[in-house]
Every structure is written in structure tokens, then in C-alpha cells.
Amino acid sequence: MTDDAKFDVDTHGIFLSVVRFDECVDFYHQKLGFPIWFSKENLVCLRFGSGYLLIKQDDRTVSEPPAQNNNPMILRFNVKEVRPTADQLIEKGIEIDFEEHLWGQIATFHDPDGNACQLKNSGDPYYS
């Protein structure tokens, strides 16, 4: 992008349309601990870091059991320490898959709609 084409972003946000609305709101608010910023009918906005996660009720039909979503997007949450943070989520009943790489550790899990989420160590010098 050229200098004349750049723009300033005040904050970042993620819009997540989900079928299992109540379960996903509970997952992100109660289990992950994101505070509710505001809510309206079929929509809840949660704060995380310097941004927000907007969860909206999708009109699609709920399938049982929830399949892991084929969406290639992953919600990544950079944390100081992956393992202790993941252990807290495991205590809340969330299944975690760990991966060790030369560049760091990640812990992957899924929300009630099957959307992939990851914890990544924030101390990675690449992001500094």
C-alpha cells in the first residue's frame, strides 16, 4: 500500500455471525472472560485487548452436534504465557490442542459454533 493510500484505524473489531448465539456469548464472556461492552437484540459486543468481538445471531439452522467449522479464519489471542492460560481454559471444560514450533507455542480450541481460536505467546519478537 502506498503512503497516499494508507488510513488510520482507531480500533480493530471482529464480527462473528453464529448459529449457537447464547452458547457463543457464554463461551466468550464467561469462559474466556471478555467483558460485555454493549448488547442489543441478537447482538452482543465484547471487549478484548484494544478491540472488540461483535457476536450476531445467524439465521442458519442449528445442526447437532456442532461440527468444526471449515472457515479458514482463526481468532488468535496473544497472551503472555500460553500453557498457564490454556490450563485455565481446560479447567473450564475447553478442549485444547497444543503445538510447539521453533517460533513459539500455540494452543487451539473451538467455540460452540466450531470456530477455531488460538492462544499464541505475545512475547514473540516478530510482533515487536
pLDDT score at 7: 73
Q: Quote the mean pLDDT of the chain.
A: 86
pLDDT score at 122: 82
Cβ neighbours, 10 Å, residue 95: 9
pLDDT digits (tens, 9 = 90+) for 46-87: 998 889 999 999 887 666 545 565 667 899 998 999 999 999
Grid cell, residue 7, equals 488510513
Computed from CA positions of residues 110, 111, 117, 122, in that sequence, does the dihedral angle turn out positive or negative? negative
pLDDT score at 58: 87
Instruction: Categorize the per-residue pLDDT at 128 as very low, low, confident or very high, splitting at 50, 70 and 90.
Output: low
- 93 class by beta-carbon count within 10 Å (0-12 exposed, 13-18 middle, 19+ buried): exposed
> Which segment, 29-33, 78-82, 119-123, is predicted with the most confidence on average?
29-33
Domain architecture of the chain: domains with CATH: 3-127 (3.10.180.10)
